[in-house]
Amino acid sequence: MNKVAFYTLGCKVNQYETEAMIEAFENAGYEIVEYDGYSDIYIINTCTVTNMGDRKSRQIIRRALEYNPKAFIAVVGCYSQIAPDEILGIDGVRLVLGTNERSKIVQLVEDAQNVEDKISVVGDIMEIEEFEDMNIKHYKSRSRAFIKIQEGCEQYCTYCIIPYARGHIRSRKPDSIIEEVKILADSGYKEVVLTGIHVGSYGRDLGDIGLIDIIQMVHDVDGIERLRMSSVEPKTFDDDFLSRLPHLNKLCRHFHLSLQSGCDETLKRMNRKYTTQEYMEVVKKLRSIYPDVGITTDIIVGFPGETEEEFEKTVQFVKDVSFSSMHIFKFSPRKGTPAAKFKGQVSPKVKEERSKIISNIAKENQMKFMNSFIGKSLNVLFEQKIDGNSNYYEGLTDNYIRVMAEAAYDIKGKIISTKIKGINKDMMLGILEKI
Please give the single-letter amino acid code of residue 125.
Answer: I
Local confidence band at 141 (pLDDT 50, 70, 90 cut-offs): low
Q: How far is CA 346 from CA 265, 309, 338, 354, in A?
A: 16, 14, 15, 11
Q: What is the average per-residue pLDDT within 377-396?
A: 89
Nearest in space to 216 (alpha carbons), one of 205, 225, 227: 227
Rounded mean pLDDT of 55-72? Answer: 92
Please report, for residues 27, 286, 399, the alpha-carbon distance to residue 282 in angstroms, rounded to integers and kept in the order given.
Answer: 45, 6, 17
- The pairing of beta strand 427-434 with beta strand 402-406: parallel
Considering the chain, what percentage of its residues have pLDDT values greater than 70? 98
What tens digit of pLDDT does each residue of 321-370 get? Answer: 999 999 999 999 999 999 999 999 999 999 999 999 999 999 999 999 99
Q: How distant, in Å, are the alpha carbons of 237, 239, 360 from that of 285?
A: 9, 10, 27
310 and 323 part of one domain: yes
Q: Does the structure show a pLDDT above 90 at 388?
A: no
Q: Is there a single domain that holds both residue 133 and residue 109?
A: no
User: Which residue range is the domain that position 78 belongs to?
Assistant: 3-123
**Do residues 140 and 217 both lie within one domain?**
yes
User: Are residues 148 and 241 both part of a single domain?
Assistant: yes
Q: Which amino acid is at 281?
A: E
Beta strands in 345-426 (DSSP E): 377-386, 389-397, 402-406, 415-424
Tell me, what CATH number does 341's domain have? 3.30.750.200
Which of the four pLDDT bands, split at 50, 70 and 90, describes residue 142?
low
Type of residue numbered 161: I
Q: What is the dihedral angle through the alpha carbons of 168, 173, 178, 183, rounded to the nearest 10 degrees?
A: -80
Is the pLDDT at 418 greater than 90? The verdict is yes
- Comparison of pLDDT for 425 and 378, the residue scoring more: 378
d(C-alpha 45, C-alpha 17), whole Å: 8
Is residue 137 pLDDT above 90, yes or no? no
Indicate whether 107 and 139 sit together in one domain.
no
Rounded-to-integer distance, Cα 23 and Cα 16, Å: 11
Is the domain of 211 the same as that of 272?
no
Those residues whose C-beta lies under 8 Å from the C-beta of residue 316, and which sit 6 or more positions away, are: 262
3-state secondary structure of 273: coil
C-alpha count within 13 angstroms, C-beta hemisphere, residue 179: 11
pLDDT in tens, 267-306: 999 999 999 999 999 999 999 999 899 999 999 999 999 9
Q: What is the pLDDT of residue 50?
A: 84
Query: Which one, of 196, 134, 136, lies nearest residue 169 by Cα?
Result: 196
Domain boundary among the residues 92, 123, 154 is at 123
CATH of residue 410: 2.40.50.140
Residues 171 and 156 in one domain: yes
Indicate if the alpha-carbon torsion angle 8, 11, 14, 15 is positive or negative.
Answer: positive
User: Half-sphere exposure of 411 toward its Cβ, with a 13 Å CA cutoff?
Assistant: 28
Which CATH number belongs to the domain containing residue 94 in this structure? Answer: 3.40.50.12160
Task: Count structural domains, the chain.
Answer: 4
Residues 335 and 403 in one domain: no
- Of 210, 226, 252, the one marking the end of a domain is 252
Q: Are strands 93-96 and 119-120 parallel, antiparallel or unpaired?
A: parallel
Q: Are 47 and 57 in contact (CB under 8 A)?
A: yes
The CATH number given to whatever domain includes residue 205 is: 3.30.750.210
Beta strands in 207-324 (DSSP E): 226-229, 254-256, 294-301
Residue 1 has pLDDT above 80, yes or no: no
Give the pLDDT mean for 424-428: 89
Final residue of a structural domain among 76, 97, 123: 123
- Condensed to tens digits (0 to 9), the pLDDT of residues 86-100 reads 999 999 999 999 999
Question: Lowest mean pLDDT: which of 141-145, 267-271, 310-314, 381-385?
Answer: 141-145
Same domain, 142 and 229: yes
Integer-rounded Cα radius of gyration of the chain: 22
Q: Rounded mean pLDDT of the chain?
A: 94
Query: Tens of pLDDT along 249-266?
Result: 999 999 999 999 999 999
What one-character-per-residue DSSP string does 46-92 give? E--SSHHHHHHHHHHHHHHHHH-TT-EEEEEEHHHHH-HHHHHTSTT
* Kind and range of the H or E run holding 326: strand 325-330
